[in-house]
Structures are given as C-alpha cells and as structure tokens.
Amino acid sequence: MNNTETVFIDGSTGEGGGQILRTSLALSCITGRSLHIENIRAARRNPGLAKQHLSCVQAACQICNGKCQGAARGSQVLDFQPGSIQSGEFYFDIGSAGSASLVIQTVLPALFLADKPSTITVTGGTHNPLAPPFDFLSGTFLPAIATAGFQANCKLIKHGFYPAGGGKITCDIQPWQKQSHQAINICQPSPAPIRREPGSMGAGFQIHALVYTAKLPAHIAQRQRKLLLQSGLNIQNIQHIEATDSEGPGNCVMIRLCGTDRTTVFTAFGMRGKPSQEVVSEVVNLAKDFLASGAAVDRFLADQILIYMAISKAGSYTTNELSTHLLTNMEIIKKFLPVNFNVHRQEQNYSISCQPAMEHSNREM
C-alpha cells in the first residue's frame, strides 16, 4: 500500500510517551503514508524529542529515504514523509544511553518488508530502565515474532548501562516470508520442559536468574544472589556477569522463565540509592504475578507484538495485564492499517486477537 494521505497523530493520546512516535514512524514507513504528529511525549516530564527519539526519526528516514520537518531536540511536532523501503547495512549512533533496543524496534517492521536482508548496528544503551534490555529483545521478543515468519538475530557487542551508554547491538534481518508464515498464536503457557511439583511456584518452567554488574563492589552481586535464593521461586541457577567492557557502572537482575518453546525475561535495575532488596523484590514480583496468572504473554511483550499481528492481519495471545501502552498501541495501529483488535476478559487474564477490519477485508495492505 502506497498512499500520499497524511495520518494525524496526537502524541498525548493514552500513555502519551515515545511508543506513540515509534509505532507511528514504523507504520508510516510500511504504508507509505505521511505522518503528522503533535504533542510528542506530552505526558513526560521533559516533553518533546530527546536524543533517543531523534535517533528513531533519523533511522526511519534512512531506511526509507524519508524526509522530515521538526526533527530537533525538544520538538513536539514532527512531519515525516516516507519514501520506498530499502535494505542494506545501517549504523545508528544514539549519542547517549538511550535505548538501542527501541531504535531497533522502530525500524524492524519496515526492514522485514524489504526485498533483501539487512544489518543494523546501534550504539547507545543496551541495559537501561524503562526500555527492553538486550536480553529481552533476543530472548523473548524476537522468538515470539519468529513464529509468524519474522526472522532476525541480534548480538550484543558491548554492554552499555544507563547513564554512561556506549553499548553496541547488531541485528541481522531477513525479509518476511509472507507465503509461508503462520499467525502469532501464544494463548497457552509454555509447556513444562521438566516435571515439577504441581504446587510449587514456577511449575512448568525452568527458572534461571542473572545478575549483571559493571564497575561495582562484589558484595552487591553477592547480596542479590542471596536474596534471589530466598525469593520463594524455584530458581535452578543464578549466574553473575561482570560487564568489564561497560563504560560506566551498572546493575540489573533478570529472571528467565524458560518453557520448551519460549522464554520470558523480567528485569529490574539497580541505581544509586536503591537497595538490593528493592531491586530483587521488583523482578521477583513481576515473575510471580505472571506465573500466578497463567497467561502466555507478559505485559511488556504484549504491546510490542501487536504491529506484527497487524502486518499479518491475524494472531492472538493471552496476557495478564491491559497496560496503557497496549491500549494506546492498538489505537495508533488502527489509524494506519485496516485491522481490528478484540479484547476479552478471561478470569484474571485477557485474550487479545487481531483480524482484518470488516470494511477493509477485501483491500490489500
């Protein structure tokens, strides 16, 4: 679909954050429709475009020969005109600890629709709060969309913790095989890889934990390991990674819930003045809530796979929370693509499904 029609987006809608911009840019590239967005990041303490968001705009321009107006620090209005999507090797430098994963997620949908493979390299933050860390990108997100024929492989070249940044991620993307794909269908918890006591917390999963530290005293990792062992989760092993390549200090604790066919990664970040008890409790509670719900998709993945369901015009999953991010993303996607999303409550979970909009069911994307 290549349309000169302009899509108008109010960036203060719903969660009012950067996800609205990223989704809009991705869909503008895919559909060929120009984008006019106002009130960018209106709900944030420092509204408008920050370095990370500018990197997303610049990346979108580069992969589709686009033109834009308003791409400046602090700008709350942007006009974006996409050209044709091109494959190739791309390099994007955020210039701060802004999330490399979010820049990758902005351009991935369009590059999947290119005619040849592409490679992108992004420097910036690889492990920072309020964004998916590399481990989530590679371990949870990419395997989930691979089920629908979207094949990509990411590698961590260098760790970059907030606030120093300086990390590097590369990502190899294959063109989407539309004819051979299956719809995303993640409605049941992942089958158990090993037998466990039915009543134990985490039955049906192998649970692994990972403590990242960079340029920090050894007792921090030791303390967090002890707290994880006391968490009540049936953790099989706890790995400590000292990120010696990091340009600055950093700390995060991850819990990986591993089934036979997919892995769910939860993360909590340490920072100055935040006790280890709080860091570990945060990530443990995320994992426990998810395990107790019986949902198949966590709240973070739930809104990130919507765009791939929309491209496929099909898909379904269950999740344990209707986040504002999720609901806002649905509304933005429907402004660009002829799809509908259905939401049904199922006891303590929600079932989300995607299908072509009835009035557009006979039209091509």
Residue whose entry in the numeric block shows the structure tokens 């996409």: 82
pLDDT at 204 over 80: no
pLDDT recorded at residue 4? 62
Say whether 206-291 and 183-188+294-365 share the same fold. Answer: no
Q: Which residue has the higher pLDDT, 16 or 136?
A: 136
Give the pLDDT mean for 197-222: 82
Q: Any catalytic annotation for residue 325?
A: yes
**Residue 209 to residues 36, 43, 178, 225, 328, Cα–Cα distance (Å):** 43, 34, 36, 9, 32
pLDDT tens sequence across 256-302: 999 888 899 999 999 999 999 999 999 999 999 999 999 999 999 99
Residue 208, CA atoms < 13 Å, CB-side half-sphere:
12
- Residues contacting 117, CB < 8 A, separation 6+: 87, 172, 173, 174, 175
CATH of domain 183-188+294-365: 3.30.110
The residue extents of the domains of the chain are 183-188+294-365, 206-291
pLDDT recorded at residue 182? 81
Q: Which stretch of 106-110, 158-162, 180-184 has the lowest confidence by average pLDDT?
A: 180-184
267 forms beta bridges with: 254
Percent of the chain with pLDDT over 90: 82
Task: Please name the helix (run of DSSP H) or strand (run of DSSP E) that holds residue 208, with its range, or none.
Answer: strand 206-214
On whether the CB atoms of residues 128 and 97 are closer than 8 A, the answer is yes
CATH class of the structural domain 206-291: alpha beta
Give the pLDDT mean for 240-245: 97
pLDDT recorded at residue 361? 41
CA–CA dist 279, 267 (Å, integer):
9
Identity of the residue numbered 344: H
Query: 268-273: which pairs have CB atoms within 8 A and are 24 or more residues apart?
Result: 269/127, 269/128, 269/129, 269/162, 270/220, 270/224, 271/129
pLDDT tens sequence across 14-27: 888 899 999 999 99
Residue whose entry in the numeric block shows the structure tokens 């095989």: 177
Averaged confidence pLDDT in the chain: 91
pLDDT recorded at residue 187? 87
pLDDT tens sequence across 78-105: 999 999 999 999 999 998 889 999 999 9
On whether the CB atoms of residues 353 and 316 are closer than 8 A, the answer is yes
pLDDT tens sequence across 103-124: 999 999 999 999 999 999 999 9
Identity of the residue numbered 28: S
- Residues contacting 197, CB < 8 A, separation 6+: 203
Give the pLDDT mean for 128-139: 95
Give the pLDDT mean for 227-249: 96
Predicted TM-score (pTM) of the model is 0.92
Give the pLDDT mean for 127-131: 92
Binning pLDDT at 50, 70 and 90, where does residue 346 land? confident
pLDDT tens sequence across 11-66: 999 888 899 999 999 999 999 999 999 999 988 888 999 999 999 999 999 999 99
pLDDT at 210 over 70: yes
pLDDT at 364 over 50: no
243 forms beta bridges with: none
Binning pLDDT at 50, 70 and 90, where does residue 188 land? confident
Q: 36, 53, 325, 360: which is the annotated catalytic residue?
A: 325
